[in-house]
Structure 1
């Protein structure tokens, strides 16, 4: 029996490739650049499975054009770039990797806070550009000791960030859609979103991107924050209105912005900007920007790929794959209807 075709849209570790090749016939993007929508569709028209990444946009038209597709193993935690309902209607299971990104993303959030508050990148640039002749009364920043840190979203990532903040002796406020027991998190104060925004010296975003959370940080929200707030976004770019952030930086209402994610990455938005606001790129003194490296720890990325690959192997073998986020109608039933 001929092996089923699996498409992998990004260069992967040898271990990932070996696992899939033992069960399937692979087509792999061997470059660091994502395929165009047309090229992705060309490869997937007769594919049984797809390992998808952040750079892929999977919508209803794509699914309809891929009649053999049964499994999308997303090497992702957030999956707003995949229309999971359309997949379910077409008999395609979508799986994610729910936990492996949590710790490295939380670690990066702490790194962004410290880099932004303590002017680490600006200091590094000054040393390399001007030479160093000793201490000067410059680059005074903001620490965490005694500060109020607000966290919007208290899922796994929000909890991991809060846990790592505790040794810094800061006051942590958290807003979350679910009711949580204060006893389970004795170092956290839970509050409504508006209060968290109003009281935070640092505001950290740990929310998924949904229609409700898109631009949760807009001009109106920023106006309700205290002057001098610093905002850190390791979650999804479109949680913020980047133009509003740039405006508030220019007036000084926001003292700093750090981000690992950007609006231009969010494929689920037809109206997403094509580039990062150039004012954010130019404001090197008050921004820290990293290229979506929240999970970029070598062993973590390998484990993420292997988890997605195992889901695909399960589907090939006819087993229910782990971490499915939809409940598809079998395509055979759809075709017989």
Structure 2
């Protein structure tokens, strides 16, 4: 029996690769840079499955060149690079990894809160550079206990961040499209967006990228925040107007920014943000633990194999075409 042809963009953990290779012939682009578009077009012509990556635009142009494609899956929760409507129009189910990376991303997000508040990375640099000669001139941070943590986007990850903040004695407020029915259990109070901006000592962004959330944080929003506020973005880079954030930091409209995502991404080493002392940036590592990335890869493989066999995907975004 002939094997299914699957295009894989990105590295595969050995267990996930082995599972796919048992039933599929793979063509793999495992380089960190984006696959050349013409090469992708060539590969996709005969592909039945696509294991995608966030830097690939799965749109009408790409899908129109893939007459045999049965399924697209991606090892991520977000899918702003995927044209879901056109996938649905083509009756192609799209699978993501919803739920798998909640705790790892919440750990990283709250880690950015704690690290930036207590200047942990700056303390390490202070020691490494030989500046630690006594108790004077050490980096001073701020307390978390008793401070207000505001969360924009109170989904599963937001709820997990709220639980961590509770353990540190923080007051939690949030803004969401809908009030959570369990917010009392999370010791979190719903507020409108404007109040969240003005009341938060630490403001965490966890919204998905959409037309309505693009540049949700710009000049107007930063001006409303406390001058002592810490801004943490662990969602998507374009949710923030990068120039407005830079100006807010240099004009001391906010105190600090800790980012796991940027716009552009990756951020250039000579970008003006990197010249500021009140910025911490990590390279989009929210889900980057061995355990979580393994689970994400395995679920993506399960989605691919189910789609190839025309069975329901375990985690499907466009369920109306889920076999």
Distance in 2 (CA, whole Å) between partners of 1:181 and 1:2 is: 50
Q: Stretches of 4+ moved more than 6 A in 1?
A: none
Alignment correspondent of 2:271: 278
Distance in 2 (CA, whole Å) between partners of 1:3 and 1:170 is: 54
Distance in 2 (CA, whole Å) between partners of 1:318 and 1:220 is: 49
Alignment correspondent of 1:335: none
Alignment correspondent of 1:122: 122
Q: Is the 8 A contact 1:55 1:265 kept in 2?
A: no
Alignment correspondent of 1:269: none
Alignment correspondent of 1:300: 292
Q: Which moved more, 1:317-326 or 1:238-247?
A: 317-326
Distance in 2 (CA, whole Å) between partners of 1:303 and 1:196 is: 34
Pairwise CA distance, 1:186: 4.9
**CA deviation digits over 1:95-146, x for unaligned, max 9?**
1110111111100011111111111222222221234222214322222111
**SS of residue in 1 equivalent to 2:7:** strand
TM-score, normalised relative to structure 2: 0.95
Distance in 2 (CA, whole Å) between partners of 1:247 and 1:105 is: 28
Q: Is the 8 A contact 1:242 1:277 kept in 2?
A: no
Distance in 1 (CA, whole Å) between partners of 2:108 and 2:182 is: 26
Mapped pair 1:60 → 2:52: no
RMSD: 2.0
Distance in 2 (CA, whole Å) between partners of 1:196 and 1:309 is: 40
Alignment of 1:80-95 (within 5 A): 80-95=80-95
Q: Which moved more, 1:237-246 or 1:126-135?
A: 126-135
Distance in 1 (CA, whole Å) between partners of 2:321 and 2:291 is: 35
Mapped pair 1:324 → 2:316: yes
**SS of residue in 1 equivalent to 2:235:** coil
Pairwise CA distance, 1:323: 1.6
**CA deviation digits over 1:185-213, x for unaligned, max 9?**
35111111111111001100011111111
Distance in 2 (CA, whole Å) between partners of 1:237 and 1:183 is: 27
**SS of residue in 1 equivalent to 2:255:** strand
Pairwise CA distance, 1:225: 1.2
Q: Is the 8 A contact 1:87 1:328 kept in 2?
A: no
Distance in 2 (CA, whole Å) between partners of 1:116 and 1:235 is: 17
Distance in 1 (CA, whole Å) between partners of 2:19 and 2:112 is: 35
Distance in 2 (CA, whole Å) between partners of 1:186 and 1:157 is: 12
Pairwise CA distance, 1:32: 3.3
**CA deviation digits over 1:38-75, x for unaligned, max 9?**
32222212100011122222111011111111100111
Alignment of 1:132-281 (within 5 A): 132-181=132-181, 184-265=184-265, 275=268, 278-281=271-274
Unaligned runs of 5+ in 1: 267-273, 331-337
Pairwise CA distance, 1:155: 0.5
Distance in 1 (CA, whole Å) between partners of 2:197 and 2:39 is: 43
Q: Is the 8 A contact 1:229 1:254 kept in 2?
A: yes
**SS of residue in 2 equivalent to 1:55:** coil
Pairwise CA distance, 1:265: 3.8
Unaligned runs of 5+ in 2: none
Distance in 1 (CA, whole Å) between partners of 2:320 and 2:152 is: 32
Q: Which moved more, 1:180-189 or 1:197-206?
A: 180-189
Q: Which moved more, 1:159-168 or 1:134-143?
A: 134-143
Q: In the superposition, relative to structure 1, how do residues 137 and 329 fare at CA in structure 2: closer, same or farther (>3 Å)?
A: closer
Pairwise CA distance, 1:92: 1.4
Q: In the superposition, relative to structure 1, how do residues 74 and 302 fare at CA in structure 2: closer, same or farther (>3 Å)?
A: same
TM-score, normalised relative to structure 1: 0.91
Aligned residues: 323
